[in-house]
Amino acid sequence: MRLKDKVILVTGAGSGFGAAMGRRFAMEGAALALCDLNEANGMEVRDDIIATGGKAEFIVADVTRGADFKALIDLAVRSYGRLDTVVNNAGYTYRPGPSEKTPEESFDKVFNVNVKSIYWSTVHAVPVFRAQGGGSFINIASTAGLRPRPYIAWYNGSKGAVVNLTKSLAGEYAPLKIRVNCLCPVAADTPMMTEFMGGPERDSPEARAKAGEGVPLGRLCQPEDVANAALYLASGEAAFITGVALEVDGGRCV
């Protein structure tokens, strides 16, 4: 097992990338500390992992709040005695449209969820990693942070910040044996895709298939694609990998 005896924390674990990563990590021997705002979804993922012989704990937590993030870190350490990897997966987007018309509350939320959460993870996880002699962060960014497209500028900016922060923190904490990497998926077949499509009224299997045609490999990113890439970054195989923005994009170059 590639993650035997590892303890991994995953935010936004109730659906999409987070659920896929939690299940994949558990299959490889990791013990999980999971959080989500949706208690029913998060408990379902936790129960699935336990039912298949894995170890998982779950709490409801808002990753934009320092006290909630600390409680999640404390859950991992209290339950398993250590923490090896923090996966900052929880994310938010809004429907595309003219950027000057984006509501202030959407701007605030996209930066709080996508960026401030990484601040809180750093504040509360680094002391644990320092005391242990190392650890790692995996931040979920996006191709939007590398090759932005019009009408969703504030989301693009938040994911660009994730990429930049990943590289900045990687250099800062490398002397402490703390690795920091991020994944940059292309548009993905997850619940968040509904917002990118323009809302439930414009989302359908046919519309998603059409969107996937714009990816050179001919389909949308699947949660399992991200889970497999995250598995590598969390494993000992990536012990010399830090500061990397790994694209999981099916070859999309524009």
Q: What angle do CA 236, 158, 121 make, to 5 degrees?
A: 45
Does 132 or 189 have the greater pLDDT score?
132
Convert the pLDDT of each residue in 213-229 to its tens digit.
789 999 999 999 999 99
Q: Strands across the sheet with 245-248, in order?
A: 55-60, 31-36, 7-10, 85-88, 135-140, 178-185, 245-248
Task: Give 196's pLDDT tier (boundaries 50, 70, 90).
Answer: low
Convert the pLDDT of each residue in 128-144 to its tens digit.
999 999 999 999 999 99
Look at the domain 7-188+223-238 and name its fold. Answer: Rossmann fold (3.40.50)
- Closest of 149, 144, 153, 158 to residue 114, by C-alpha: 158
Task: Give 190's pLDDT tier (boundaries 50, 70, 90).
Answer: confident
Task: Give 185's pLDDT tier (boundaries 50, 70, 90).
Answer: very high
State in Å, rounded, how far the first CA of the chain is from the last one.
37
- Kindly calculate the radius of gyration of the chain based on its CA atoms and give it in whole angstroms: 17
- Three-state secondary-structure class, residue 131: helix
Convert the pLDDT of each residue in 24-78 to its tens digit.
999 999 999 999 999 999 999 999 999 999 999 999 999 999 999 999 999 999 9
How high does pLDDT run on average in the chain? Answer: 94
Strands (E), 64-207: 85-88, 135-140, 178-185
How confident is the model at residue 197, as a pLDDT? 61
Residues known to be catalytic = 155
